Structure formats: structure tokens, C-alpha cells
Structure 1
Amino acid sequence: MTRMIDINPEESPRARFAYEVRRYRLAAGMTQKQLGRRLGFSTSAVAMVETSKFRPSERFAELCDEVFGLDGVIAGLYAEVWPPPPPVPAHFRDWAVEEQRATALRFWAPLLVPGLLQTEAFARRVISCSPDITEDEVERRVAGRMQRRAVFSRVDPPAVMCLLDEGVLHRPVGGPAVMREQLEYLLDLSRRPNFTIQVVPYDAEVLSGLLGAYTIAEMRGNAYTVRVESQPSGRTVTDRATITNMVRRYDAVRADAYPQHQSGKLIEEVVTQKWT
């Protein structure tokens, strides 16, 4: 007798895809080996898809619809889980998809304003500092970064919590005009109901957070992946134990942050006193 489905479809969109493939296979009375033969894939490939350990091709999803007699159901789920990414560097494409799909994003920024919260001028200055980058590549990457911000204009935008080290407000990226525009943009974002922006003061040790910036993506209250920024290109983490550890570190940093209203006042003071 085939075991009941034990993957949690609420854990992440990818888990939901795996759950539905397995559910329809069981409903069709097929074993993984039988489905694999019908699809032209190995039994192990089917098993890894059904346990969310392997990203299938779009063709896999389309063939599942054919085998199960569905009208684009599995292909539709695939498009939700792995939509075409915005024009970003190859190493960032998987994360660009995750941040568009997450229901909540939590940023820890000890050095720079997070890319998703940057203005065009700020982003251009940061990107242009990359070694050997061409002007055309700078413009492509800036355009991709601005396109990513469309997630905030959705009907159901993600909840956003951003912790900024106080030093971020004072680091002269691009000069006074660029910094003023950037900090004013953060203030505008902080006034939205789905945004919380808090500043972590200079005198907070936050030693667990000084190792680098990262972003936690959540789906329905569950943290399911983390983007860790590092040289030269960062990495995306899906290991559950590591994610749990990163969430605890985030909460420890947040415990030392100013409340949102106090953080807003501090940002306004820095704009007036330093960047005007």
C-alpha cells in the first residue's frame, strides 16, 4: 500500500508543487516508476520532485498534465513556483524568484540599504563599483533591480521588516543628493502598512549580526529560504537547521533596534543634518 503524502504543502510554494504531483499520481493509481516511464524520467527523478529535493523542468510539468488528463494545472503551479526571473545576474536568479513569491521578507542590513529597497541612483552607484563592469551591464543590472521593486505594488505585497544598522544612514554612497533621496524613499516605504523599518543603534553590539547581511523569505509565516550576502556573489540557503539559526540571529538583532517611530525620527534627523 502506498504511503499517504507526508510533505507539508503550506511550507513553501515548492513544497506545494511536490505535494500536488504526488497527490495526482496517487489518484491515478500509479507508482513513481510507472509515472517515470510515462514521462520519460527516471524513478529517482520523480521521487526527488515529490520530496521537493529537485527542481523539474517546465516540460516535466507539462507532461504531468498530459498523463493525469489535467488542463494545465501542474504547469500553472510550476509557473507560480518558478516564474521567469527579472533580468539579474545568473547567480541571483533563484533568489529573485523567491523574493517575488514570498509573503514576507525580513532584511538585516549592517552595511548598505538592501538592493530591493534601493533607489535607482543609489543602486547605480553600488553596482558601478563592481570590478571590470561595463556601462551596458550597469544599466541592465540597475533595470533589473528596479523591476524587482514591482513586488511592492502588487495587490497582495509581502510584509517587509528591515533592520538597518545606524552606520548605513551615514555611509556616503553617491554623495548627499543620492543619500537624501535614498533615505527619504525609506521613510516613504516605512509609512506603508506592510512595512516596518527599524534602525539598530551604533552602541548595540549585535555581534551575531556583524558577520554579514542576509534576507529571510517567509511563506505563510514559515521561513523557508535565506539569501546570505558574501563575496563575490552570495548564496541562497535552504537547509532547515541553518534557516532556524538565521531567524534566531535576526530576532537577537531586532531586540536591540529602535522602535519604528523612533527609527523614523532618526532617519529624518540624519537627512536634515547630514544630507541636506
Structure 2
Amino acid sequence: MPQRLVITERSHEPRKRFAEELRRLRGERGLSLRELEREVGWDSSLFSKMESGGTLGGPEVVQALDQYYGTAPLLLTLWELALGDPTQFKEQYRRYMMLEAEATSLWQYSVSIVPGLLQTDAYAREVLSLGGYRGKELDRQVEARTGRRKLLERQDDSPPFRALLSEAVLRTPLRDKQAWRDQLEYLAEAAERPDVNIQVLPYSAGLSGLVSTDVMFLRLLDGTTVAYTENAHRGELIEENAPVEQLQRAYDAMRDVAFSLPESRSFVLRMLEEVPCEPST
């Protein structure tokens, strides 16, 4: 009989497993963090945070470690899985995050803030800090949220994404003017991608059926559509057909009176022009 495979006791959570593999590989080489710094070229404090699960690091350092240890593409694969790990999010969001990762198309309406899939790091940091996150947990939540951008940045199979933004989204700046410029520039660049459509719903359109509700629609592999509604205090995943269809009708009515795609991008650029440039030092 063939020998039975031994089931390891390593974590099944992608983020924890990634950190475990980093510790294991360094331990097998008998290296200190300082020695690894000399060998690979990144600061030892970064390796320490990666091995403790405090940060995932970036793809460049992960590729360098893969090359040094001769494990390519193991570490990069684990890093990609950890980046989309739903366990990074609070319990009520985890099922939604799993569905988002599998969706064949996505479309969203945002009342007052930039959608998470289009947020820069600085924008996400300010929004999450207003929600009470601090220190390492803030860093972790920023990394988790901005890691979702990878869903739209895949080269061959990123799902189509339509974002309908209330004008208020673009008229509510960050406190840091340069960070706000960066966010608007990111939106303008994203609007040029073939699978990303961004439309602005102007104030002149008046009240709407989603006047106080952010909503994301996910088209799933089985052809069904679910909705996730959210306000400042709670979110709800809606899977029943009737309420989802009601939300879709409200969304379609708003899209009918929104600016066209070219008009919307011009509006974003106009908002960008209104942000004063920081003086050079």
C-alpha cells in the first residue's frame, strides 16, 4: 500500500500560513533576521513584521525571497492568497468578501466615499481611522482593503466593474491635499481601463431610491445576483431575489440620469484641477 501522507499542523488561514512558511524557510537556513537582510537586501524589520503576520510586504520583496530560497513561485502564490484572505475582515464581511472574489461582474453605488475597490492607501487609511482603527490593526485593515484592488488589476480575468458615484463622493476631500489629488488621479486612471466604468450622479439629478445607502451588486457564477448594502454603522448581504431586484431598479433609475462615461471622467478631472498643488520644497 502507498504510504499515507502526513497532514501538517500548519495553519489553513492564508495569511498565517504565509508567515509560517517565511519563518520555516529562514529557520531551515539558520539565518538571523540581520543575516537575511544582508542576503536579500530589505530591512530586517520588514522581515520581522512579515514573519509575525503584521504585514504581507510587497510583491518585489516576496519575489526576492522566493528567488533566494529557491521556492518560486510558492511564496508569491501564498502572498496572493493571503492578500485576498477573507479572515482579514470582520466576521460580518467574510461571506461577502468570498463572493466578491468569485463574482463575474460587479456594480456599485456610493453615496459619500470612494468604493473600497478604488481607494488608494492614503484614502483607506483616513476612512478606517475615522472608524476607530489604530496602530497595527489600522495597518492591517488598510492592507486588507487596498489589497482588494488586485481584483480589478488582474491582466486577463478581472471582472467588469461599474461604479456609480454620487457627486458628494468627489466633493468630499481628504485632509491631506496631496493624498486627495492622488485619489482623484487614481480614479481618472481607473476610468480608462476597459473593464472599469465610472459614472457620476450629479446633485442636479435630485433625490434617488438609494439616497442614503451604498450598495454593491455581485453577479455570481451560477447566474444569480446578490447585493450588499452598507451605511456608516452596519452592512447586510441580501440574497433573496425580490429585494435584490428592487435595489437594481433603483440603481438603474439613477444610472439613467447620471453623467455619461466621458462626462464623468471630465468631471473627475475638473475636480482634480480644483485641488491646489502643494508648494515644492
Distance in 2 separating the partners of 1:201 and 1:87: 35
Residue in 2 that maps onto 1:150? 150
Aligned alpha-carbon RMSD (Å) = 1.8
Residue in 1 that maps onto 2:119? 118
Asked if the contact 1:122/1:173 (under 8 Å) is kept, the reply is: yes
Residue in 1 that maps onto 2:137? 137
Residue in 2 that maps onto 1:185? 186
Equivalent position amino acid for 1:125 in 2: E
Q: Would the alpha carbon gap of residues 198 and 223 (structure 1) be closer, same or farther in structure 2, given more than 3 Å must change?
A: farther
Distance in 2 separating the partners of 1:221 and 1:180: 40
5+ long unaligned stretches in structure 1: 1-82
5+ long unaligned stretches in structure 2: 1-83
Deviation at 1:231, TM superposition (A): 4.0
Residue in 2 that maps onto 1:257? 258
Asked if the contact 2:208/2:250 (under 8 Å) is kept, the reply is: no
Per-residue CA deviation, residues 1-50 of structure 1 (Å, 9 max, x unaligned), is: xxxxxxxxxxxxxxxxxxxxxxxxxxxxxxxxxxxxxxxxxxxxxxxxxx
Distance in 2 separating the partners of 1:200 and 1:274: 20
Distance in 1 separating the partners of 2:191 and 2:119: 13
Asked if the contact 2:116/2:124 (under 8 Å) is kept, the reply is: yes
Deviation at 1:150, TM superposition (A): 1.2
- 1:212 and 2:213 are equivalent in the alignment: yes
1:1-276 matched pairs, under 5 angstroms: 84-85=85-86, 87-131=88-132, 133-154=133-154, 155-219=156-220, 222-276=223-277
TM-score of the aligned structures, taking structure 2 as reference length: 0.65
Residue in 2 that maps onto 1:68? none
SS in 1 for 2:148: helix
Per-residue CA deviation, residues 215-250 of structure 1 (Å, 9 max, x unaligned), is: 000136945211101242311111111111111111
Aligned residues: 193
**After TM superposition, which residue ranges in structure 1, 4 or more long, deviate above 6 angstroms?**
none
SS in 2 for 1:203: helix
Distance in 1 separating the partners of 2:276 and 2:249: 34
Distance in 2 separating the partners of 1:236 and 1:174: 32
Deviation at 1:85, TM superposition (A): 2.1
Deviation at 1:135, TM superposition (A): 1.3
Equivalent position amino acid for 2:237 in 1: T
